[in-house]
Amino acid sequence: MPGGGFVRLPGGSVVVALTLPRPTGEGGNVRVLVHAANRARALTRLRNLGMRAVYLRGNAQPPTPDEVTAVLHHPDGLLWRCAPDRAAELWHPIRALLGNA
């Protein structure tokens, strides 16, 4: 089930986590993490990549501490992996999801 949430960091920025249908239409869901100055900018980053129908309603599935660490240590601040989480799967850059890798 799609859902998401966010965490505000001490510096004022946020990490948004969303569970979305795979944009390539292959079926299944993906968990997307975005680090941005605020929630609106995080969603705008995804919309600018072609994920037009991305919304954050509520905070039912905020990012875990491990997810926050992963996205903060990635230079793009934008990651994904399959949902539900597979223990052995690593986080991928967003371009791998969108077919630009």
pTM equals 0.86
**Residue whose C-alpha is closest to residue 72's, from 21, 28, 16:** 16
Which tokens belong to 53?
Answer: 């129908």
Domain boundaries, the chain: 3-97
Question: What tens digit of pLDDT does each residue of 57-99 get?
Answer: 889 899 999 999 999 999 889 999 887 766 678 888 887 777 6
* DSSP category for residue 68: H
Residue with tokens 């999801």: 97
Question: What tens digit of pLDDT does each residue of 7-30 get?
Answer: 999 999 999 999 888 776 677 888
Yes or no: say if 4 and 19 are a contact pair by the CB < 8 Å rule.
yes
